[in-house]
Amino acid sequence: MKTTGIIHPQYQIGAIDPRIGGAFLEHLGRAIYTGIYEPGHPTADEDGFRTDVLDLVRQINVPITRYPGGNFVSGYNWEDGVGPREQRPVRLDLAWRVRETNQFGTNEFIQWCKKANTEPMMAINLGTRGVDAARSLVEYCNHPSGSYYSDLRRAHGFEAPHGVKVWCLGNEMDGPWQIGHKTAEEYGRVALESAKVMRWVDPSIELVLCGSSAAGMPTFPQWEQTVLEHCYEQVDYLSLHTYIGDQEQNTARFLAKSVGMDHFISTVAATCDHVKAQKRSKKTMYLSFDEWNVWYHSHSHDAELEPWSVAPRQVEDYYTFIDAVVNGLMVNVLLRHADRVKIACIAQLVNVIAPILAEPGGPAWKQTIYYPYQDLALYGSKGVSLQPVINSPCYDDSQFGAVPYIDLAAVYDEESGALNLFIANRHESETLPLELDLRGFGAVWVAAHSVLAHADNNARNTLQAPNTVVPRLDGDARVVDGTLTANLTPLSWNVVRCKAG
Ligand code: AHR
C-alpha cells in the first residue's frame, strides 16, 4: 500500500494567483450581522466591527472577499445600503425570506476589507436590476469625483474612490431559485451590456461571468457555451460553484466527491477553449471558483425557520473533523488547476457555512474546516503549482471510478525555497507510507509536518470545546538523500513544509 512518486520543480502546472485563497461574505443569516458587524459587542471597534472576528480573519490572510451575495444580490438595491443609517430602509429579502435592515452596506464592507487586509470583490444585481444599476454602482465606487454618484459617495464621507477591481456579473443566474433567473440567452445579453457600460465607467476593472451553479445542473455545460459566445471578449473569468455534502452518510463516497469537482473544472476549461477556438480568440478564459465548500448539516434545520426574522441562525453548518478532510481535498483540486483557477472563494467566511463561528455577545472560534482553508491561503498561494507524478493505491467508487487513497498537491516558491505539500489520506483505517523523489530540488529538508486527524469523524469545535480538532506538528515526514518519506495517519490532512536550496 505504499505511494511512490516524484515532485520536480520543472513539472509545472502553472503560476498560482494569490487570490486562490479568497472568501465570501453574503447578507445571509449571521454572516454580516453578529458575524463581522455587531455594534455593542465587547470587542467591537468604533465602526461596530468585531475585532475578535477580524483577528481570526487576519490569521488566514484572506486575499480577496466576495460580497454582498450570493442569492441575496439578485434582489438587492445597493442604494439602500449607503448614506445615513437612520434613513436606510428595511426590506424583505426574498432570497432567504428574512428582513434586511441595511445597517451594513457597500461603504462598511470596504472599511471592513481594509481592516481585514483583504481586497473587495463585488457582485452586481442582474436579477431584479441590470445595466443601469450596474453602471451607477461602479461610478459610486470607482469614479473619483465630479459626477452624481461619485459625489454622492463623497457626500457619504468617502472622498477617495474605493477602487474595486473585481466585479461579478450577477450570481447563479442559471438557477430557478435565483430572483430574476434567466435563460443562457437572456443572461448572456444582459451580462454583455452590463460589462460594456461598467468598463466604460472604469476600464481597469475585471469581470466575472456566471457559469453553472453546479456540475449537476441540467443546463451544464451548454450554459457555459452560450454565455461565453455572448461575452467571451468582454469578461476575464467564468465562475464555478461546488458544495459537497454527505447526505448518504457514506464516508468513502463523501471523500470521493472532490474527484467530481476536478472533472467539473476540466469540463468548464474545455468549454472555454472550445469557444475560444470558435471565436479565433487569442485570449484564455480564466476561472473564478467563487463558491466552494462542504455544506449539508444545516439543510434540515433551515427548513423550520420562521420567515421574516432579522439575521437568524441560518445556513450554519457545525463542521465535523471529516468535513475538514473533504475541505482539504477541495483545496488540492483548486491547486492542481491553478493554471486556470485564478480566483477562488470559500463559501463563506463567518457563521454561514464558515470556518469561523461567532456567538452574539460572546466569543468567536475556529471550526474544523478553518485549518485546511488557512493552509491554502497561507502556504498554497505563492509560487507555482507543481504536477505531482504519483502512484497511489486506489479504491473503487461506483460514481467516480478509481479514487486514490493518497491525494497530493505541491506548491513551490523558488524565491524563498518553500516547497509545500498538501496531502490527504482517504483510507479509513490504514496508515499509508509515502515515498517521494525530491532530488530535482537539490538540498531539501522538512521544516514542519502538520497533521489534522481525529479518532472521531464527528468531532467538532464547539463554544465549550473550541480546540477539539486542531492540527498538530507531530507528522514524521523527513528527507534523506533527496527522498521524502512519511507515514500518513488514516483519514488525515497533512501539510509538509519543506525548504529547498
Ligand atoms: O453560499 C450560499 C448560497 O449558495 C449562495 O447564496 C448561492 O450563490 C449558492 O447557491
State pLDDT tens for residues 383-413. 999 999 999 999 999 999 999 999 999 999 9
- Do 197 and 119 fall into the same domain? yes
Say which CATH number the domain at 203 has.
3.20.20.80
Q: What is the pLDDT of residue 263?
A: 98
- Do 87 and 31 fall into the same domain? yes
- Element (DSSP H or E) covering residue 409: strand 406-413
Which cell numbers hold the place of 372?
A: 485546511
Q: Which amino acid is at 488?
A: L
**CA 88 – CA 105 distance, rounded (Å):** 10
Q: What is the pLDDT of residue 300?
A: 82
Residues with pLDDT less than 70, the chain = none
Q: What is the pLDDT of residue 304?
A: 78
Pairing of strands 394-397, 444-452: unpaired
Total number of domains constituting the chain:
2
Pairing of strands 341-347, 356-358: unpaired
In testing the pocket of ligand 1, which one of 32, 72, 98, 171 has its CB within 8 Å of the most ligand atoms? 171
- Do 408 and 359 fall into the same domain? no
| Cis peptide bond prior to 221, omega within 30° of 0 | yes
Residues 6+ apart with CB under 8 A from 336: 13, 262, 385, 387, 409
Q: What is the pLDDT of residue 299?
A: 87
* Boundary-marking domain end, from 317, 350, 381: 381
**Contact status, residue 317 vs residue 350, Cβ threshold 8 Å:** no
Nearest to 172 by CA among 208, 121, 213, 207: 213
| Cis peptide bond prior to 68, omega within 30° of 0 | yes
Q: Whose CA is nearest to atom 4 of ligand 1?
A: 70
Whole-angstrom distance between the N-terminal and C-terminal Cα of the chain?
31
Q: What is the pLDDT of residue 496?
A: 98
Q: How many angstroms separate the Cα of 351 from the Cα of each of 319, 347, 359, 428, 464?
A: 11, 10, 9, 29, 16
Q: Which amino acid is at 193?
A: E
Closest ligand 1 atom, residue 172 Cα: 8
* Boundary-marking domain end, from 364, 381, 398: 381
**CA 386 – CA 447 distance, rounded (Å):** 19
Nearest to 20 by CA among 338, 368, 328, 284: 338
| CA 8 / ligand 1 centre spacing (Å) | 38
- Do 369 and 393 fall into the same domain? no
Say which CATH number the domain at 424 has.
2.60.40.1180
Q: Whose CA is nearest to atom 8 of ligand 1?
A: 70
Pairing of strands 22-24, 64-67: parallel
Does 172 sit in the ligand 1 pocket, CB within 6 Å?
Answer: yes
- Do 404 and 314 fall into the same domain? no
In testing the pocket of ligand 1, which one of 27, 66, 172 has its CB within 8 Å of the most ligand atoms? 172
- Do 171 and 257 fall into the same domain? yes
**Contact status, residue 381 vs residue 18, Cβ threshold 8 Å:** yes
- Do 427 and 330 fall into the same domain? no
Angle at 147 between CA 142 and CA 151, to 5 degrees: 75
Q: What is the pLDDT of residue 345?
A: 98
Enclosing domain of residue 483: 3-9+387-500
Q: Whose CA is nearest to atom 6 of ligand 1?
A: 70
* Boundary-marking domain end, from 333, 352, 381: 381
Kindly list the catalytic residues: 172, 291
Q: How many angstroms separate the Cα of 253 from the Cα of each of 78, 248, 292?
A: 42, 8, 18
Does 348 sit in the ligand 1 pocket, CB within 6 Å?
Answer: yes
